[in-house]
Structure formats: structure tokens, C-alpha cells
């Protein structure tokens, strides 16, 4: 598996570098401030930290953060920051996650951000973008969908290499409603960019952005926690079910019961009568939750 992960890394790295070079060669002039860089780098990290492993959130934080950054920074810088700061804490705690998986995830997010930056550069060169207008919303929608498509393409490529599954089967596993949900994230991401560039609290737009995105991050954190608890409960139920089946199928032969006539009944039949079932098949159908209660 590690060899396949390495192959994925070797394929994704030149793709990211090519997209980044295109952004550097055709730059968009935007003022760069170190405070802005540190602030948005922290937002990238938080968006990945609170990212749920299941697609059950209407708005994905990393998508909204990247699209908002496109209106604030040069696209090449956005792609670079996303590559560096899309750190998943599970890489240091989750067994079997591995550093190669973490590197590939960084490259996937970086490719999606770089592809989005190229599309934004083309739009920026062709038209004048007014953030507060309907045109600004349309641009945000296009960027949101672009990020999703590049992200999906990179993930699909990684799955094809690692699991050798056909593209149709990989796409079938994804939620087709999710791109439409991305449309809902476009206006909020545009609003975040506007309130950051036009401060309304203490002469710095970061305060307004914090008040705006914290509820979104908190909702994502709750979703991640609840999904994790549900997954643990399902795993425990499956484990108990298997233990229950194994206990019945591999019941020790040394458990016997003698009838009034002196006939010896083996342990399986004895357990069936003790529980009150008519057959071993009926016993095995008992709901495991009720059995353990």
C-alpha cells in the first residue's frame, strides 16, 4: 500500500507544480501583509481540523475559506498556503494514517486551490469583478464549483491508483448532491471576503471574519464529533453481533443437560431451551442489543 501511496505522490506533485508555475507566470497583483497571511493560514488549518469525514455538512469550511482568499490574495499565494497549512491533526493520532497519506491530502487540496486560482485569473483578466454585485456572486459560484471539480478529480486519481477501481464506481460512492450544496457556500465566502476588506470592527476585518466563521467551524466540529460517536457505536454493535454469533456457533461441547428420561442434550440445544427459542436458527436471529440488555 505504501508503494501505491508513493506513486500517487509522484503523480500529484508535478500536477501541482505545473499549476503553481502557471499562476506565478501570470500573476494577479494584490497587496500582501504578513498579518493577513498568518490569519488566513490559521483559518485554513481550522477548516481542515474541523472537517468532517462524512459529507453531511451543507457548507464545507475549506471550500469557503479558499474561495474567500481568492478575492484577497494573489492566487499563487493561496495555492501555496493551502498546500502548507492544510494539516490534518489525525495524521499524528490516527493509527495507519501515515505521513504519505497526509502528503497526498496536502497535494490534493493544493491542486484544487491552484486550479481554482487559474480560473479566477482568467475571469479577472477578462472582466472587472465587483464583490458586492451579482457578478461577484456568480464568480464565487464558479470558483466554488471549480474547487470541487479539481478536488474530486485529484481524489479520483488517487483512488484509481491505490484501489484499482473503475472511475464510475468511485464517482458512485460520492454524494451527487454535494456540488449543489457548494452553491450555498458561495455567497457566504464572498461575504467573508467583503467584510475582511472593509473592516467594521476595530479597523481590522479579521474580527468580523472570526465572528462570522466561528459558528460554521463550531457546527462542523459538532458534526464531526457526532459522526465519530455514531461510527464508534456502529462498530461496537457489529463487534457484539459477531461475538454473539461466534459464541453460539462455537459453543463448547462440554455443556450438557440431561432430560428426565436420561437422554443427554448438547450445549447448543440446552442454550436454545434456556433462552426460550424453538431452534438454533431462531436463537441466532435474536436482536443483539436486546440479548445484551
Nearest to residue 192, comparing CAs of 47, 51, 24?
A: 47
d(CA 105, CA 24): 22
In this predicted structure, the answer to whether residue 262 has a pLDDT above a threshold of 80 is no
d(CA 76, CA 68): 14
The answer to whether the CB of 186 falls within 8 A of the CB of 144 is yes
- Three cell numbers at 180? 449543489
Cα angle for residues 105, 110, 115 (degrees, 5° grid): 130
pLDDT tens figures, 22-49 = 999 888 888 888 999 999 999 998 888 7
Nearest to residue 143, comparing CAs of 62, 260, 224?
A: 62
In this predicted structure, the answer to whether residue 104 has a pLDDT above a threshold of 80 is yes
The answer to whether the CB of 75 falls within 8 A of the CB of 115 is no
Domain locations along the chain: 2-233, 251-292
Predicted TM-score (pTM) of the model is: 0.70
d(CA 142, CA 119): 8
pLDDT > 70: percent of the chain = 59
d(CA 132, CA 74): 19
d(CA 149, CA 213): 24
d(CA 166, CA 123): 34
d(CA 293, CA 284): 16
Q: pLDDT-based confidence at 197, cuts 50/70/90?
A: confident
Give the model's pLDDT for residue 257. 47
Give the model's pLDDT for residue 57. 42
SS3 55: coil
The answer to whether the CB of 217 falls within 8 A of the CB of 47 is yes
Give the model's pLDDT for residue 125. 85
d(CA 287, CA 246): 15
Q: pLDDT-based confidence at 89, cuts 50/70/90?
A: confident
In this predicted structure, the answer to whether residue 275 has a pLDDT above a threshold of 80 is no
d(CA 272, CA 282): 9
d(CA 172, CA 241): 29
SS3 11: helix
Q: pLDDT-based confidence at 66, cuts 50/70/90?
A: very high
More confident residue, 111 or 101: 111
d(CA 210, CA 57): 20
pLDDT > 90: percent of the chain = 22
Amino acid at each position: 500500500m505504501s508503494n501505491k501511496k508513493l506513486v500517487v505522490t509522484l503523480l500529484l506533485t508535478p500536477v501541482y507544480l505545473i499549476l503553481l508555475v502557471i499562476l506565478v507566470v501570470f500573476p494577479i497583483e494584490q497587496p500582501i501583509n504578513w498579518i493577513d497571511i498568518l490569519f488566513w493560514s490559521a483559518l485554513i488549518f481550522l477548516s481542515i481540523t474541523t472537517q468532517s469525514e462524512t459529507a453531511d455538512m451543507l457548507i464545507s469550511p475549506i471550500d469557503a475559506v479558499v474561495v474567500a482568499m481568492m478575492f484577497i490574495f494573489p492566487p499563487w499565494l493561496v495555492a501555496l498556503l493551502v498546500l502548507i497549512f492544510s494539516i490534518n491533526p489525525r495524521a499524528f493520532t490516527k493509527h495507519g494514517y501515515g505521513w504519505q497519506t497526509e502528503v497526498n491530502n496536502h497535494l490534493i487540496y493544493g491542486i484544487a486551490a491552484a486550479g481554482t486560482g487559474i480560473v479566477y485569473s482568467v475571469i479577472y483578466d477578462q472582466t472587472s469583478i465587483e464583490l458586492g454585485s451579482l457578478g461577484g456572486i456568480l464568480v464565487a459560484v464558479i470558483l466554488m464549483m471549480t474547487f470541487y471539480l479539481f478536488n474530486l478529480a485529484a481524489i479520483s486519481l488517487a483512488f484509481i491508483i491505490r484501489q484499482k477501481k473503475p472511475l464510475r464506481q468511485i464517482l458512485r460512492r460520492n454524494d451527487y448532491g454535494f456540488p449543489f450544496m457548494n452553491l450555498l457556500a458561495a455567497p457566504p465566502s464572498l461575504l467573508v471576503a467583503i467584510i475582511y476588506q472593509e473592516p467594521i470592527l476595530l479597523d481590522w476585518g479579521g474580527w468580523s471574519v472570526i465572528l462570522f466563521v466561528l459558528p460554521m467551524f463550531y457546527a462542523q466540529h459538532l458534526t464531526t464529533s457526532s459522526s465519530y460517536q455514531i461510527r464508534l457505536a456502529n462498530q461496537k454493535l457489529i463487534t457484539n453481533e459477531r461475538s454473539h454469533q461466534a459464541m453460539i456457533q462455537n459453543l463448547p461441547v462440554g455443556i450438557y443437560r440431561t432430560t428426565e428420561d436420561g437422554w443427554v442434550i448438547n450445549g447448543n440445544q440446552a442454550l436454545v431451551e434456556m433462552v426460550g427459542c424453538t431452534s438454533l436458527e431462531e436463537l441466532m436471529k435474536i436482536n443483539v442489543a436486546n440479548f445484551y440488555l
